[in-house]
Structure 1
Amino acid sequence: MIKTLTAAALATCLSAPAWAFDVSAMTDGERDAFRAEIRAYLLDNPEVIFEAVDIAEQRKAEAQTAGDEQLLADNAAAIFDDGFSWVGGNPDGDITVVEFMDYRCGYCRKAHDEVAELVERDGNIKFIVKEFPILGEASLTSTRFALAVRLVAGEEAYKPAYDALITMTSDMSEPVLRRLANTLEVDADAVLARMNDPEIDRQISKTRALAQVLKINGTPTFVMGTELVRGYVPLDTMQQIVATERGEG
């Protein structure tokens, strides 16, 4: 009798809205039998568990994507036109790629050449660098140096400094920075003097605040058109995302 009631209850539970089935109305015996039936069913059909997990993960990903899209829309001006982040590639490109990066991040280094290849091959991508030092004092010093080079020597000097710093593994001592400045053919004394400039503090603070709003806590993180991409992705994946953003994928 209990098994018959339990089977009927299970069928009702699976086919009706959650509010239509009241487990609390069962007797203790019926409830125990009901649980046993569910357990037996799952043991006989374990694929149901994996299917449920997949559905849960899909829903979680969809919610994350929707949340990211709203964050990007709400903060578009700060992301794409903050007035201080370096802009490369094609300034009039139809797709904008923004990278939050740290010079001491291994995955940023791995992504560096691939991002450069993406921008060069495509020819119609606007590329924006967000200096986001989060990996310690060497990261912060590297960012201060890059931004000081830009303040002292202008836009054209920034990119060579950026490219050089992303490959450096040595300490960021003053002699090292002087040698780098000399290699870049910029005034070393002027650059070192500007590294603690209030304008540099402002830029770093603004980017950190934006990252916090966007819930970015790691590097690299990319904004590619309307998509927020957290973490490293290879060149072919970046190309696919760009194609999708253009409606080609």
Structure 2
Amino acid sequence: MTFISPRRSRPRLLHAVLAAGVMGAMAGPVALPPAYAADTEAASSFTPAQRQEIVGIVREALKTDPTILSDAIAALRNSANAAQQNAARTALDSHRAELLAPAANDGVLGSATAHATVVEFYDPRCPYCRKVLPDLDRLTHEDTDLRIIEKVIPVLGQGSLIASQALVAAFLQGGQDAYFRMQRAVMNDSTAPTVERMRTLATQSGLNATRLATDMNSQKVTAILEANLELARAIGLDGTPTFVFNARQIIPGAVDYDALKKAIAQNRQ
């Protein structure tokens, strides 16, 4: 995986600024990253007069060199980015097996035995998830050693839950073929999702609408969706779509064809 590296050196004055709490005194509270824990402990030994002297020194320094403040902000941002990337690395390592092999009820585009694996977490009501569908089809048609594992997660309210239940129920009824037929119907539909609407779409997709409506509220469908959500939370997902490339890199949000193809190439085993 490629991660953003923190800055390897920072001006000594930044340590004094952060340790003395000057940033907080000047611009409100600032959450300090763990890298500054020792400096923060040292700050507790300063007398009020010493703290005031440091404030004066920093204010004077800012007048002559305003870049000090931007450097301090950049240092905090870089440290936060590094911590976030480290957390992502740990999460991907911990769930590597789950992210490299499809679960029994996952939709899979492309070759089931491919070496390049992309996992997409998506919500069927998400407009960006709908927009990227043609790109996913194109990628798997162009690359015969690629598979895209689809994990549906309802994160956009009751309508998303109903649509997600219908997709999983379609898989239980007829496997991959039924799942993708129902997916095309659901994700090209502009009508608000209801159980009756799912019955209509199921009939149009050649499925047993009565069975689908019954299965939507089954324990098995609930368990599958809960497992998808649990894995999504474990890797720190905060929106849809989110893509995971060979359990090495996470890219959240709307991603176009070129960015997807580049990430696949960079993370290919």
TM range (shorter): 0.7 to 0.9
Deviation at 1:183, TM superposition (A): 2.1
Identity of aligned residues (%): 25
- Equivalent of residue 80 in structure 2, options 38, 55, 60: 60
1:239 aligns with 261
C-alpha separation in 1, matches of 2:114 and 2:81: 29
Superposition deviation, residue 130 in structure 1: 0.7
CA distance in 2, matches of 1:168, 1:145: 13
TM-score under structure 1 normalisation?
A: 0.80
Pairing partner for 2:241 from 217, 220, 240:
220
Paired residues for 1:109-124 under 5 Å:
109-124=130-145
Contact preservation (8 Å) 1:101, 1:220? yes
Structure 2 gap segments, 5+ residues each:
1-11, 18-37
2: distance between equivalents of 1:155 and 1:27? Answer: 69
Equivalent residue for 1:153? 174
Which residue pairs with 1:102 in the alignment?
123
Secondary structure of the 1:59 match is helix
Shift of 1:98: 0.6
Match of 2:99 among 50, 54, 79: 79
Question: Residue 221 of structure 2 corresponds to which residue in structure 1?
Answer: 200
The count of aligned residue pairs is 235
Per-residue CA deviations over 1:5-29 (Å, capped at 9, x if unaligned) read xxxx97x969xx969x98967893x
Label 1:215 to 1:88 Cα distance change in 2 as closer, same or farther (>3 A).
same
- 1:185 has 2:203 as partner: no
- CA radius of gyration, larger in: 1
Q: Kindly provide the amino acid, as one letter, of the partner of residue 202 in structure 1.
A: A
Gaps of 5+ in 1: 1-8
Matched residues in 1 for 2:160 and 2:133: separation? 16
Distance 1:32 1:198, change over 3 A: closer
Distance apart, 1:70 and its partner CA: 1.3
Distance across 2 between alignment mates of 1:49 and 1:224: 37
CA deviation string 1:131-171 (max 9, x = no partner): 10111111111111111111112221211211221222212
Q: CA RMSD in A?
A: 3.0
Q: Deviations over 1:44-96 (max 9, x none)?
A: 22223223323332232222122112111111233333332222212222221
Residues 1:48 and 1:192: Cα distance change in structure 2 (over 3 Å): same
Partner of 2:61: 41
Q: Secondary structure at the match of 1:154?
A: helix
| Partner in structure 1 of residue 232 of structure 2 | 211
Identify if the C-alpha distance between structure 1 residues 27 and 59 changes in structure 2 by more than 3 Å, giving closer, same or farther.
Answer: closer
Any runs of at least 4 consecutive aligned residues in structure 1 with deviations exceeding 6 A, and if so which? none
**Contact map agreement 1:220 1:232 (CA 8 A) in 2:** yes
118-127 or 65-74: which moved more? 118-127
Match of 1:168 among 189, 213, 216: 189
Task: Give, in whole Å, the separation in 2 of the partners of 1:160 and 1:183.
Answer: 9
- Classify the secondary structure of the residue corresponding to 2:212: helix
Q: Is the 8 A contact 2:153 2:229 kept in 1?
A: yes
Contact 1:69 1:228 in 2 (8 A): no
**SS at the partner of 2:84?**
helix
What SS class does the counterpart of residue 186 from structure 1 fall into? coil
1:229 pairs with 229, 251, 261, which one?
A: 251
